Amino acid sequence: MSDEQQIKEVLARYVRATDRRDGTAQGALFTDEAVVQMLTKTGPDTYEPVGEPIIGGAGVRYAVENFMAPHPEGGSSHHVTADHIIEIDGDFAHVNAQVIVFEIRAAKRPSNGWPAGAFGMQGTVRPIESGYYDTDLHRIDGVWKIVRHRLLLDMPIALPGT
């Protein structure tokens, strides 16, 4: 598999772990010294940090397991990345990718079945977040690991204490 494809796969595993709220799988994608920072857009090309950086794979695991709200019954999310711009220099790489997050809410099947005329998927899908992932990776023992991950969010985010 090409380096470019391996790097895209790191992001694919990252978003799937986010959607599953799997801190162990997500944390395994980062080095012990990795830095993760959320930033919100303040101007056309300017961002400001939100909260404190998360440090290392263990910090990522803790954040996923303790700060991400579980999905409600019938709920899930899909983080989708696109338009990856990848630069590779030996064992170091940088990727910038657009991200959109969709919220999924499945309708509960009525106990007496779907009403006459009901057809297709039942529920809602709506976009709830957008921005960019700006990520540096280092290949260690043949495996690409995230060393810096910046979430550049298009909208303000409300967090406790901010």
pTM of the model as a whole: 0.91
- The H or E element spanning position 26 is helix 23-27
Domain that holds residue 118: 3-153
Assess contact for 53 and 36: CB atoms under 8 A.
Answer: yes
Establish if 94 belongs to a structural domain: yes
Task: Output the domain CATH number for residue 39.
Answer: 3.10.450.50
Q: How many domains does the chain have?
A: 1
Instruction: Per-residue pLDDT tens, the chain, 162 aa: give them.
Output: 899 999 999 999 999 999 999 999 999 999 999 999 999 999 988 999 998 999 999 999 999 999 999 999 999 999 999 999 999 999 999 999 999 999 999 999 999 998 898 899 999 999 999 999 999 999 999 999 999 999 999 998 877 665
Assess contact for 10 and 31: CB atoms under 8 A.
Answer: no
Establish if 78 belongs to a structural domain: yes
